[in-house]
Chain A
């Protein structure tokens, strides 16, 4: 079974600084997707970024980028120029490319942004 581990229950960052959230996963699959979702106090799940396992290039979306290390099964999220609106719960998630396509989530990291 696939598992996703987020070892940082809480992180704090100063506004305008950079922070990295960690995620590791375990799978025997070769084709899969990895995601970072943001859950603000409204609890609406918002996709931040996704990475296809077959792509070697790390995904980037504006201030958000990932460090995908397939061999190490590591998928960290870097948030640059942190803003107050980035404060939220962040979930790392995994999905197989075929078969069962539900997401498996990590336990989450609560990010606080200090003004």
Chain B
């Protein structure tokens, strides 16, 4: 099956600093990638849709200036949490679909556990 690699798997950062999370599709091209956030014992909530070569689409209530998304190539999307605060601590998961539409399901990265201290 298709592989999506997310890096890092965990990160601890100081309050006020920025953290970048990478999401790569390893064996397929993805014009669209999705970023989700998952709080402990809760479901996945869509934060934004990342579109290759254009601006990301953010869900209502998600601060686009805080969660910067860049999708510069067909295999890489990045999420940068700017000026992180403890309330940004969470589990972030990306997913991607095959641009050729060969499979209807999305493939998920391993997730990134962010802890802001």
Q: Is A75 an interface residue (CB 8 A)?
A: no
Q: How far does the alpha carbon of A42 sit from the alpha carbon of B49 in the complex, in Å?
A: 24
What residues on B are CB-neighbors of A106 within 8 Å? Answer: 43
Q: Is the CB of B104 within 8 A of A50?
A: yes
Q: Which listed segment binds A: B67-75, B77-85, B105-113?
A: B105-113
What residues on A are CB-neighbors of B110 within 8 Å? Answer: 42-44
Q: Is B54 an interface residue (CB 8 A)?
A: no
Within 8 A of B (CB), among A16-34: 33
Q: Is the CB of B108 within 8 A of A100?
A: no
Q: Is the CB of A47 within 8 A of B44?
A: no
Q: Is B97 an interface residue (CB 8 A)?
A: yes
- How many residues in B have their beta carbons less than 8 Å from beta carbons of A? 19
Q: Is the CB of B43 within 8 A of A105?
A: yes
Q: Is the CB of A102 within 8 A of B105?
A: no
Of the candidates B43, B49, B104, B108, the one whose C-beta lies within 8 Å of that of A102 is B49
What residues on A are CB-neighbors of B105 within 8 Å? Answer: 33, 35, 47, 50
Chain A, interface size: which category? 20 to 34
Q: How far does the alpha carbon of A42 sit from the alpha carbon of B9 in the complex, in Å?
A: 11
Q: Is the CB of A33 within 8 A of B42?
A: no
Q: How far does the alpha carbon of A100 sit from the alpha carbon of B48 in the complex, in Å?
A: 11
Q: How far does the alpha carbon of A112 sit from the alpha carbon of B35 in the complex, in Å?
A: 28
Q: Nearest Cβ distance between residue A72 and chain B, in whole angstroms?
A: 22
Q: Nearest Cβ distance between residue A111 and chain B, in whole angstroms?
A: 14
Q: Nearest Cβ distance between residue A41 and chain B, in whole angstroms?
A: 12
Within 8 A of B (CB), among A77-98: 91, 95
Q: How far does the alpha carbon of A108 sit from the alpha carbon of B4 in the complex, in Å?
A: 23
Q: Nearest Cβ distance between residue B43 and chain A, in whole angstroms?
A: 5
Of the candidates A43, A103, A108, the one whose C-beta lies within 8 Å of that of B95 is A103
Q: Is the CB of B44 within 8 A of A91?
A: yes
Q: How far does the alpha carbon of A45 sit from the alpha carbon of B1 in the complex, in Å?
A: 13
Within 8 A of B (CB), among A30-58: 33, 35, 42-45, 47, 50, 52
A residues near B (Cβ < 8 Å) are 33, 35, 42-45, 47, 50, 52, 91, 95, 100-108
B residues near A (Cβ < 8 Å) are 32, 34, 38, 42-46, 49, 91, 93, 95, 97, 104-106, 108, 110-111
